[in-house]
Structure 1
């Protein structure tokens, strides 16, 4: 009945909107789309742990098509992940499949938008709602239902939505319903804009309704089961002020009792607060941020773990790294609780070829926890409030990094970047990595040095090179310069050369080498061809086992080896 109802409503909406659009002779109709296909022909490599697959080729393939007009949009996505790339289905076989999981029809006018089908949405910073797609992580937590956006007056926007959340190739049983109100006060008062000041206030509410009879959990050492709340409510309030060169954001969210597998089935309420301030003018910028979260995991299925079924998202307060060695030990935001701090200063000297500097410091701590008594699972009391936590008290250190970046253009054709990163990583808590010989690894302290040069050889040829070195040591005592090599995998060296030949070609070779105990090389070579809207890349080499992270969310990637092919097309 649900598909019939959806398409009946869609047909009625399309008919109404088409009739309205026909009255406007300027109505435009545009069709666009894209194809993305990533393929690997895997090879077994016991030296690095690359396993053998039954399939001769693995692929994640997506094809999107959308039609847009002045008042009516429609689109769908075809996905083929029946034989997914390494790591995507290792923890949840539900990722495998093929079909059309995303489809929508949307009408939009000056005063309102209405969407039926699958859609994405974010309230505020995403503390209580963020649905999005990130293919590199295998995330697509869209909602299937309806969304209405109203703009009844100048500076006022209201959102209302309801739907069921995608879990790979099915939809979770829980209903997710919510509303959001944003007021742009600067549009009401002329004095704000005259003084280059903009103030936005926002408030949100999200409700999850999940049957209390499902997923009953027996308490260890007892003869009773936990009783789950069928309704969970989450609320968010925020204020964003921009005045001159300054910007301030304050946001606070809280959630009612929501026992789940993720939080060890405790009945503690959740909360998160964030303060952010920045200053920016020509040649100089500053940023300071602080965030405290406590038990803010929020899923549309209480028994699910991993990357799927997240209703919300807690942004990471760490620098987003792009260089290979700087990203080797990434930090993933912890939903059970953390204190996170980040500060950044950037300065560019005056002059055509003057240098620029950037300093970034991030530090993430556990919140202090006093655990409850009673039947325990991993230290947490089943059916209790779990623990107590003083707001201002900070626990052990999870992660810390300090980054110095120097960039200078020495001539019209030559540019050089340098970077140093000092990183502390609490391995016992974050990933529990073991060395390849099976030995236990505690905290890890890394010193990372990076040089990146770019030389424009001719009008059509540009050569870029990277040289990276990581000194990895035992960082248990937090000494900034301790050079013994007892780190998780020892020292690393990485190099890359990239030659681009306009307008069509790019040739890349790279090697990631473990200079510690394994002496393994992770070599890679690729050729990229661009023609119009087409991009084709063919490569061969090894990929190290590790974590791929975006926005504080991480996916484990197993070691692999083989021929890779990537094709992208946009029209």
Structure 2
């Protein structure tokens, strides 16, 4: 009870500190800034779906971050409380309360030193990304030390050492890293072009306890990248290599007889011009699971730290369209970067595929543009298992560099935005998806087609209403869905919404469920408070291509966030 009371009082304490600091800022040159965030859920019984609330139905995730800056020094800490427990299916390591992270930083024009917890990313993150995403329950900060050195405007060098955060502790693995970013414009005297490159190193040292290991305790990984821009064209490439290491078996235990290296190739190129934009990305990954501890921690017989993106060193998002349609997010793709021998017919070594976006705007006062112009966006993505030879017992594989294997997923979509008047905007979306449920999570393959129509009417500069209707035709699993949304913005402070998606096509009439939600938000300056009630559809929830699984639930949600 004392801990809960302290956390509720933290925003008030911060306000007092900030006021005191404001009065003495000129004398002491101290700046205080940070924020507070609280997400509370009250889970209820739902007899219509046969759901009983958990044993602790009232749960909350709370974060208080404060930073103090004095001259070249900055220090800060983040206090976290998960009371009585964290929200459903968050990392169980986030339990109770305490100091989650802390740091001390010293910075000049050329040198920056950090001790404590810090966040970092090398290149695209395929070797290393330490980051925080509270919506996904991810915080993989490194605790240790980091040095950034900028000998010139064209060179940045980074060296670090640390252990990765897991819950309120750190993992056993020790992480070493070096990264460089070098710009060559001055050397080649480019005026209309930009050329840069970088190299990275990441080492993970973890003591091996099994007898006669066929791999080293220190796993080394290297990467090189290059970026080039000329006028409206750009291209970049990155290659990553991970030294051979033990692969996890079906039980997520080290297999000393199954040892392989890993690699990843990432290419991105495109064009931006008047009215036209093209962006394409190709990625091939093989055995690119990179954890701060080789073996995940088990929560129970069916769940481990991997289910919560815990102890994951690298950043491997799904390179697919991030839809805002509720129905388009039922079958979402998760990147398949690791080796996974599920059973005899399903053996995966990674993924290969790509995504392309094409944007075009028909100019105003043309036949297709009309008075206000018309915007069209095309997107296509397809992802496959790596082609090659696979053997289940004893486990082994040899992949081909080119070609594709079993298809995992595809998403082809069209988006048209058309303004009809100064106050009326319309949007239309068509989405075709293929989801190989058997290879991705077990079940039937699903082909679906989704159509969405949206209308936004602006009463004035601060008042608007948005109405959306959508429908999915699916040939398997839960079959057809229909949905709708109404959102009202009264001004820059108040907003309200109601939406529902209805699984009317389910072959099991008892599971033809409405997933409804109603809520609103209030904003004042840097403070936002939101309240909603409704049903959570079980499945994957994704942010920026990274996902976590959420169970079916019903209840109230209250969110509060503020910055100072």
TM range (shorter): 0.7 to 0.9
Residue of structure 2 aligned with 1:283, choices 275, 281, 291: 275
Matched, 1:234 2:221: yes
Report what 1:482 is aligned to: none
Q: 1:409 aligns with which of 419, 422, 446?
A: 419
Question: Mapping of 1:319-330 within 5 angstroms?
Answer: 319-330=321-332
- Aligned residue runs from structure 1 range 526-565, under 5 A: 526-565=519-558
Partner of 1:428, secondary structure, is helix
Deviation at 1:302, TM superposition (A): 0.9
> Partners of 1:367 and 1:198 in 2: how far apart?
34
The 8 Å contact of residues 61 and 87 in structure 2, kept in 1 or not, is answered as no
**CA-CA distance at 1:263 after TM superposition:** 8.7
Matched residue, 2:208: 212
Distance 2:377 2:432 in 1: 14
Q: Distance in 2 between matches of 1:501 and 1:270?
A: 53
| Map of 1:200 onto structure 2 | 196
1:365 aligned to which of 384, 403, 408 = 384
Q: Say if 2:456 is the partner of 1:454.
A: yes
- Is 366-375 or 303-312 further displaced after alignment? 366-375
Distance 1:446 1:545, change over 3 A: same
Answer yes or no: is the 8 Å Cα contact 2:327–2:481 preserved in 1: yes
| Structural RMSD (CA) | 1.9
Shift of 1:81: 1.7
List 4+ stretches of structure 1 deviating above 6 A.
Answer: none
Instruction: Look up the SS of the partner of 1:211 in the other structure.
Output: coil
Structure showing the higher strand proportion among its residues: 2
- Work out whether 1:505 is the aligned partner of 2:494: yes
Task: For structure 1, list consecutive stretches of 5 or more residues without a partner in the other structure.
Answer: 1-24, 217-223, 376-380, 433-440, 474-486
Farther-moved stretch of structure 1 (461-470 vs 531-540): 531-540
**2:48 aligns to what?**
47
C-alpha contact (below 8 Å) 1:154/1:187 kept by paired residues: no
Conservation of the 8 A alpha-carbon contact between 1:86 and 1:557: no
1:343 equivalent in alignment to 2:343: no
Q: 5+ unaligned residues in a row in structure 2: which ranges?
A: 1-25, 297-305, 339-349, 365-370
Deviation for aligned residue 1:459: 4.5
Q: Distance in 2 between matches of 1:393 and 1:405?
A: 30
- Name the SS of the counterpart of 2:128 in structure 1: coil
Show the counterpart of 1:389.
399
Structure 2 residue matching 1:298: 3-state secondary structure: coil
> What are the within-5 Å matches in structure 2 for residues 489-504 of structure 1?
489-504=478-493
The CA distance in 1 between the partners of 2:46 and 2:503, in whole Å, is 16
How much has 1:323 moved relative to structure 2?
1.6
Residues 1:247 and 2:242 aligned together: no
The answer as to whether partners of 2:92 and 2:167 remain within 8 angstroms in 1 is: no
Distance 1:551 1:457, change over 3 A: closer
Secondary structure in 1 matching 2:151:
coil
C-alpha separation in 2, matches of 1:167 and 1:230: 21
Cα distance in 2 for residues equivalent to 1:187 and 1:212: 47
Separation (CA, whole Å) in 2 of partners of 1:462 and 1:264: 56
Q: Deviations over 1:228-276 (max 9, x none)?
A: 5211000000000111001101100000012143596331100000111
User: For the residues of structure 2 that align with 1:108 and 1:140, how far apart are their CA atoms?
Assistant: 24
Maintained 8 Å contact 1:285/1:347: yes
Report the Cα distance in structure 2 between the residues aligned to 1:471 and 1:26, rounded to whole angstroms.
Answer: 67
- Give how far 1:94 is off: 2.1
Contact 1:212 1:230 in 2 (8 A): yes
Instruction: Name the CA distance, whole Å, in 2 between partners of 1:130 and 1:49.
Output: 40
Preserved contact between residue 183 and residue 201 of structure 1 (Cα < 8 Å): yes
| 1:9 alignment partner in structure 2 | none
Q: 1:370 to 1:507 in 2, by over 3 A?
A: same
Alpha-carbon distance, 1:494 to partner:
1.2
Q: How far apart, CA to CA, are the structure 1 residues paired with 2:425 and 2:126? A: 40
Q: Matched residue of 1:429: which SS?
A: helix
Structure 1 residue 85 displacement after superposition: 4.9
CA distance in 2, matches of 1:30, 1:243: 41
1:326: how far off? Answer: 1.1
Q: 2:515 corresponds to which residue?
A: 522
* Corresponding residue SS for 2:438: helix
Cα displacement (A) at 1:31: 1.2
> What is the DSSP-based 3-state SS (H/G/I as helix, E as strand, rest coil) of the residue aligned with 1:326?
helix
- Check conservation: 1:235, 1:254, Cα contact below 8 A: yes
Checking the alignment, whether the CA contact within 8 Å between 2:253 and 2:295 is kept in structure 1 is: no
Q: Show the counterpart of 1:7.
A: none
Number of the residue aligned with 1:111: 110
Match of 2:174 in 1: 175
- 1:124 paired residue number: 123
Q: 1:421 aligns with which of 415, 424, 431?
A: 431
1:8 match: none
Supply the distance in 2 between the matched residues of 1:327 and 1:167 (Cα, whole angstroms). Answer: 28
How many angstroms apart in 2 are the aligned matches of 1:443 and 1:348?
36
1:185-212 per-residue CA deviation (whole Å, 9 max, x = no partner) reads 11334x31x2x21111100000000001
Aligned partner of residue 448 in structure 2, secondary structure: strand
Q: Distance in 2 between matches of 1:360 and 1:497?
A: 26
| Aligned residue number for residue 22 of structure 1 | none
- Distance change in 2, residues 1:496/1:373 (3 Å): closer
CA distance in 2, matches of 1:415, 1:45: 38
Q: CA separation in 2, counterparts of 1:56 and 1:314?
A: 33
How far the C-alpha of 1:552 sits from its partner, in A, is 2.9
Give yes or no for contact 1:145–1:163 (8 Å, CA) kept in 2.
Answer: yes
Is the 2:56–2:85 Cα contact (8 Å) retained in structure 1?
A: no
Query: For residues 370 and 119 of structure 1, what CA distance do their matches in structure 2 show?
Result: 42
TM-score (norm 1): 0.85
- Aligned equivalent of 1:139: 138
1:96 deviates by 2.1
C-alpha distance in structure 2 between counterparts of 1:277 and 1:49, whole Å: 50
Q: SS at the partner of 1:187?
A: helix
- Point out the more displaced range, 295-304 or 317-326: 317-326
Deviation at 1:88, TM superposition (A): 2.5
